[in-house]
Amino acid sequence: MSESPDINNLTVGKGILYFTPTGGVERDMGECSAFETTPGGDVLDYFSNRSGIRKKVRSEGTSASLELRIVANEATAENLAMQLGGDTPVSGGAGIKTFNIMRRSTVTGSLRYEAQNDIGNRIDVLLPSVSFKPGGTFNPISEEWMEIEISGEALATEHTDGTSDFGTVTVTDQA
C-alpha cells in the first residue's frame, strides 16, 4: 500500500453496485452516477463550569449512523421500486414489469460496491444490512439522462464476539 504523500493514491472512482434484497438474489443495479455514504451520529459534550466561560473538556459519541444515497441511471422496475417503496415487480409478459407504488415502507437487503477504476486505488464496500425508504427524486420528463435518486441507511450488524459495525471497506493499491 502506498503511504502518503504519493500521487498514485489519487483516485477516479468507477464501479458496479450490487443489491441483494432480503430473501432474494443479488442483482447489478446498472449504471449509477453516484454512491455516497455520509457517516453521522450524536455526541454528548461536557463543559467545565470551573471558570468564567464554560469550556468544552470532553466529547463522546453516543450514537452512530451511516446514510446512503445512490443515483441510478437505468430506469428499471427494480430501481424504481426501491425509490418509490414499491413491491416486487411482477412480469406482465415479454419486457413488461409492474409494481405497486408505496406498498412497502422499507426495502431491505445488502449492498456491495465493486471498484472497477483504472486510476488510483480500488475501494470496495460491503454493507451487509441496508434499508432504503421511499424518497429522493424521480423525474420522468427531462431533456437529460434520467436519474433515480435512492436514499437509505446502513444498519449495524451484531457479531458473535459482541462487536458491531456497518460493514467493510477494502482498499487495494493499484500503483
| Distance separating the N- and C-terminal Cα atoms of the chain | 8
Pairing of strands 122-133, 148-154: antiparallel
Asked whether residue 130 is assigned to any structural domain, the reply reads: yes
Asked whether residue 46 is assigned to any structural domain, the reply reads: no
**What total of structural domains would you count in the chain?**
1
Torsion angle of C-alpha atoms 107, 81, 151, 27, degrees rounded to 10: 70
Q: To 5 degrees, how large is the angle CA 157–CA 166–CA 106?
A: 80
Q: Which domain holds residue 91?
A: 7-39+66-172
- CA-to-CA distance for 157 and 140, rounded, in angstroms? 36
Asked whether residue 114 is assigned to any structural domain, the reply reads: yes
Question: Do you know the residue count of the chain?
Answer: 175
pLDDT digits (tens, 9 = 90+) for 38-73: 999 999 999 999 989 999 999 999 999 999 999 999
Asked whether residue 50 is assigned to any structural domain, the reply reads: no
Asked whether residue 75 is assigned to any structural domain, the reply reads: yes
Asked whether residue 61 is assigned to any structural domain, the reply reads: no
Higher pLDDT, 175 or 95: 95
Asked whether residue 96 is assigned to any structural domain, the reply reads: yes
